[in-house]
Structure 1
């Protein structure tokens, strides 16, 4: 006799949504033996052990870290294994604890891409142990301009979450900082309750969302996407601003384990993804001066939940158009170039 469970389908979406009425995950039929194996797996997770292939257990630790490329996936993760994960056939590149989250219960739907702001939400969800299902929004194919996504976020940016177990029913939240606050308050974790400590965290998170993210985003844009022949003024300006804010953060981390003190919080979650490839944009010499930031980044990269989150986001990234393959008209609309209408 087989037991049957269905992984949570996507939230109700407009008829125009490509996700409407369908689940990205298959129906899974499990025998009694399979249920027994799941029980063993869950027990293993409780003791921080993997339950799949040997290399999967090793992957629970962290990726090899490279400041130019960021945490790297294990070399044994092949394209075939990635497809197997997406088809729901094995744990593959994911730690088993990630896969096991989908057994029963209401999930959070995360709509995102491969961007640092989306990485923040993957990290928070993994750190908090919240069950979620990730859906790729193909930004470089213009999917964010489709009507169904505009219903989720009128500003047409990722990330967006829909929490099916929220205080407001199916709660839709967009903007990464708002999502981090929502998840922290929902779980009572990653954010202190005492007012002084709480606002220490919030103010440093705001530094990430008002300065680090925007300045880094503009630097990346003018470094990678600016048309040929454009003045170097814009790139130089944002390079200076990025260097300045990371000097401030480096000083803040002097004698402090984490950004807002001795506790890992949403302020650290917000900052980490923007530091992964810092030397690519600041240069090796400037990055080497940021010794406190380097220590902090290394320690954060060793957190098992961070490794799981980046691995999960990497799977999502494989489903999306690469920037170099994007249609020029879509890029013009995305970046607001040549008077292209964004909405």
Structure 2
């Protein structure tokens, strides 16, 4: 671990524990929430979204795709493990801890199914919608791109609302799928997009998000790592 190039820019205080390189975005906090829920010892490093961080040689040595989060686990099943992509990290941590991924092969498949729903749908579509509502895309006079993503966000929320009509968590028991979905639902507040998607039309989703946000590990994970390096 101490020999990895990333240690030159983000030195570890305790290289014997899992090292998290992240920033408190929806994708970033998925992993910090999971680590808190699973009780896995870890050390968090603030990697800002600036090119000076995510495109630095040190970070690219860990994640050539220059996106947070990424981890190095010195206590992997076959030695040190380094990973990027939040969904892959969630699966790895769940299997490492034996928690939040189902007890049978069928349950595991269902959890991963809904994790992929977030990775391939909810996250990308909400992120694009946020660009067109809150960020530079909001300045475009042509509102067709914005409406495209708003409509897709509504469709995805309707899927969730139906699935949550008879259960508290998306895959049955609370799982890494919820840890992935919850932060992206919460991002609608950041994007100022709740009115655009008619949030009140999805009461099951709203109640689900309230349950998620009330969990102590979620409250802690949402603040890790701090936006300003300490």
Does TM, scored on the shorter chain, surpass 0.5?
A: yes
Structure 2 residue runs of 5 or longer lacking an equivalent are none
Q: 1:108-143, CA deviations, whole angstroms, 9 ceiling, x for partnerless residues?
A: 111111210011001100000011111111213541
* Higher-Rg member (1/2): 1
Contact 1:16 1:147 in 2 (8 A): no
Matched, 1:218 2:132: no
Matched, 1:257 2:168: yes
Q: 1:150 aligns with which of 42, 60, 72?
A: 60
SS in 1 for 2:45: strand
Q: In the alignment, is the contact (CA less than 8 A) between 1:250 and 1:290 conserved in 2?
A: yes
- Listed one character per residue, the Cα deviations across residues 58-97 of structure 1 (whole Å, up to 9, x for unaligned) are xxxxxxxxxxxxxxxxxxxxxxxxxxxxxxxxxxxxxxxx
**What aligned pairs does 1:143-292 form with structure 2 within 5 A after superposition?**
143-223=53-133, 224-226=135-137, 228-261=139-172, 263-278=173-188, 280-283=192-195, 286-292=198-204
| Distance change (3 Å), C-alpha of 1:228 and 1:288 | closer
Give yes or no for contact 2:94–2:176 (8 Å, CA) kept in 1: yes
- Alpha-carbon separation, structure 2, partners of 1:230 and 1:149: 37
Give the superposed CA RMSD.
2.2
* Larger relative contact order, structure 1 or 2 (CA cutoff 8 Å, min sep 6): 2
1:6-37 per-residue CA deviation (whole Å, 9 max, x = no partner) reads xxxx7433289423xx44x4xxxxxxxxxxxx
CA contact (8 A) 1:11 1:109 kept: no
Note the C-alpha offset of 1:312.
Answer: 2.7
SS of residue in 1 equivalent to 2:223: helix
What is the TM-score of this pair, normalised by structure 2?
0.91
**1:257-303 superposed Cα distances (whole Å, 9 cap, x missing partner):** 10011x11011001000111425213177111111011111111111
Q: For the residues of structure 1 that align with 2:196 and 2:47, how far apart are their CA atoms?
A: 33
1:37 maps to which residue? Answer: none
Check if 1:139 corresponds to 2:49.
yes
Q: How has the CA–CA distance of structure 1 residues 273 and 285 changed in structure 2, closer, same or farther, with 3 Å as cutoff?
A: closer
Q: Is the 8 A contact 1:239 1:282 kept in 2?
A: no
Shift of 1:169: 1.6
Contact kept? 1:250, 1:292, Cα under 8 Å: yes
2:223 counterpart residue number: 311
Residues in 1 aligned to 2:52 and 2:81: alpha-carbon distance in whole angstroms? 25
Task: Look up the match of 1:13.
Answer: 4
Is the 2:6–2:62 contact (alpha carbons within 8 Å) kept by the matching residues of 1? no
The answer to whether the 8 A contact 2:24-2:227 is kept is yes
Q: May I ask how many residue pairs the two structures share in their alignment?
A: 227
Structure 2 contact 154–197 (Cα < 8 Å) conserved: no
Q: Give the 3-state SS of the residue equivalent to 1:311 in structure 2.
A: coil
Structure 1, unaligned runs of 5 or more: 1-9, 26-101, 321-343
Distance 1:188 1:285, change over 3 A: closer
